[in-house]
């Protein structure tokens, strides 16, 4: 991300939430798609607002701590280190938060999306910004 995009993304995130773009590459065997990976870190009690991921398929895996997640109107699920979940294009990530008030939690989210998609985390409130590709 450029520094201005990082600043915009940071302003949209609640205190204690950090999202880093680790990499983004066009898939050579499917050049109309790209693979991007974000690392999300939640300080104790931190979260992200309700959001979606555009036309991306997302696979997420917990690196540390415990994360609570709700997709669309499904059940709120809790995932620990090594656990994973997925989200389909168009899904609403209704809840994404650290399950702990005392420990840090982090996870990796890998996106497969159209090459022209620049927004990876699209918040559903008009005042919120987006986390974008560099």
pLDDT in tens, 101-133: 999 999 999 999 999 988 888 776 554 555 555
pLDDT at 4 over 60: no
Q: Where are the domains of the chain?
A: 3-126
CB 37 within 8 A of CB 53: no
pLDDT at 31 over 60: yes
CB 30 within 8 A of CB 68: no
Length of the chain: 134
Q: pTM (2 decimals)?
A: 0.82
Of 132 and 74, which is predicted with more confidence?
74
pLDDT at 10: 44
Q: Stretch 74-91: mean pLDDT, rounded?
A: 96
Q: Stretch 12-31: mean pLDDT, rounded?
A: 89
pLDDT at 15 over 90: no
Q: Please state which CATH class domain 3-126 belongs to.
A: mainly beta
């Amino acid at each position: 991300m450029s520094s201005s995009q990082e600043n915009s993304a940071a302003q949209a995130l609640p205190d204690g939430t950090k999202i880093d773009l680790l990499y983004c590459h066009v898939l050579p065997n499917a050049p109309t798609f790209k693979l991007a990976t974000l690392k999300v870190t939640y300080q104790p009690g931190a979260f992200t607002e309700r959001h979606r991921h555009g036309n991306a398929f997302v696979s997420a895996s917990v690196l540390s701590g415990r994360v609570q997640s709700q997709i669309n109107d499904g059940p709120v699920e809790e995932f620990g280190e090594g656990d994973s979940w997925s989200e389909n294009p168009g899904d609403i990530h209704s809840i994404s938060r650290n399950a702990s008030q005392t420990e840090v939690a982090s996870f990796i989210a890998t996106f497969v999306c159209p090459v022209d998609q620049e927004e990876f985390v699209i918040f559903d409130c008009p005042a919120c910004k987006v986390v974008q590709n560099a």
